[in-house]
A = this chain, B = another copy of it.
């Protein structure tokens, strides 16, 4: 091991309490992006990060305005033209803390209990952001970075990164990089280092069905009118066949088959049938019979009813034949599906299947592209090697069922693939009361990031 690498690791080891103090300080800023009353706290958190970037030796540090909360930029480009440029991503905003009465500690006063640090944002993802800052600081204080780095801290991830689609193309050159290091994904377990190489996309729709011009008395008209709730139910029921496969025309055509190697990796993951049953409490799992649950979540598309409303849903027995029905339906997408193609497929399905007894409308509400990172990229291999060095086991490769909007936006605008990892664990209660961070894992993540930079360099 090079002297420089070891010196950085030693520095990180000696400064663990300091890094923890930094984390406590930024957790104390209640930067809840979706609550208007915290607007100034978002600016405070951004300014804290900017000051910290300057303190650890970054250049050109600045806050860039967006439609909503500022982006923090900084860079260190002195590794030279031959060295790769790594864009380090993070978000400084957090989820709301309600319901407050379920917290056992104060959410903005990060509180250590044994190996765990409780507080809003400790895991998602102020802790992960501090880990990248700690790793870079450890190298900068002991020698110099073997790669160029740029930083992008946004304040809107918890509200869907709403400004990023307009912001990134405008600042394409500023954020130009060879790839992105994104610590906003997690690990499967504390002893199972994990690299996430795929994210599902999303196409989210409102579907409306209209029947009679106004609510009718079900006694006086029932039997002559196609109940719009019934009509929408029939349409949605037809969107899956008896095996749980989606029937929209051409839906599966662009879906990449799962390779034998991928399947073997997926089968090694501890997220088996028992895991999903325990996490969800369902009597029995469901889904395409020829795929593992973890494949169905990560590598296969879905069509879900996120909401359905029609008629009278209060107490008692109102005998209404409703005038309309609506459903929220969304598809999680996998490469090479696109939200706009799926939108067309849904419209084609409705055209073909909607009866003449009703009127209907489909609105695309939200579209997020799929993302997949080549597992053979040098950056991915550097991270895999770094994790194996720190944890002593080869990391698991995982495709995640959710979407991180910035990942596909960076692919599209900057052309940078993301290396997705993180010290977050499934039991960290992210987005929930008593969010926490497992400190031994967090310290390992700092070490792994140091190794990652030296592996790249």
Provide the bound-state CA to CA distance between A312 and B322, in Å.
19
Number of interface residues of A (CB under 8 A): 76
| B319 A311 Cβ-Cβ under 8 A | no
- In A205-222, which residues have CB < 8 Å from any B CB? 211-214, 216-222
Known: A233-B237, A286-B225. A310 touches B307 (CB 8 A): yes
| B219 A200 Cβ-Cβ under 8 A | yes
| A319 B310 Cβ-Cβ under 8 A | no
Known: A222-B401, A332-B223. A305 touches B311 (CB 8 A): yes
| A332 B287 Cβ-Cβ under 8 A | no
Provide the bound-state CA to CA distance between A234 and B330, in Å.
17
Provide the bound-state CA to CA distance between A347 and B269, in Å.
41
A28 within 8 Å of B by Cβ? no
A328 within 8 Å of B by Cβ? yes
| B286 A307 Cβ-Cβ under 8 A | no
Q: How often does this chain occur in the complex, in copies?
A: 2
| A227 B304 Cβ-Cβ under 8 A | yes
Neighbouring B residues of A446 by C-beta, 8 Å: none
| B225 A276 Cβ-Cβ under 8 A | yes
| A319 B300 Cβ-Cβ under 8 A | no
Provide the bound-state CA to CA distance between A279 and B321, in Å.
13
Contact for A402 among B214, B217, B296, B326, CB less than 8 A: B217
| B280 A225 Cβ-Cβ under 8 A | yes
- In A422-438, which residues have CB < 8 Å from any B CB? none
Neighbouring B residues of A279 by C-beta, 8 Å: 221
For A362-376 the 0/1 string (1 means CB < 8 A from B) is 000110000000000
Interface-facing stretch out of A10-18, A148-156, A259-267, A353-361:
A353-361
Neighbouring B residues of A217 by C-beta, 8 Å: 401-402
Neighbouring B residues of A226 by C-beta, 8 Å: 282, 284, 286
Residue of B nearest to A309 (CB): B313
The main secondary structure of chain A at its interface with chain B is mixed
A114 within 8 Å of B by Cβ? no
Residue of B nearest to A223 (CB): B296
- In A279-309, which residues have CB < 8 Å from any B CB? 279-288, 293, 296-297, 300, 302, 304-309
| B224 A276 Cβ-Cβ under 8 A | yes
Q: Which of A225, A234, A284, A330 has the most CB of B within 10 A?
A: A225
Give the top 9 A-B pairs by smallest Cβ distance, nearest first.
A219-B402, A213-B281, A223-B296, A237-B237, A226-B286, A307-B311, A229-B305, A204-B317, A317-B366
Q: List 17 A-B contacts (CB under 8 A).
A: A202-B219, A211-B282, A218-B304, A219-B401, A220-B400, A220-B402, A224-B293, A225-B276, A225-B280, A225-B286, A229-B307, A230-B304, A233-B237, A306-B319, A307-B318, A316-B366, A317-B366
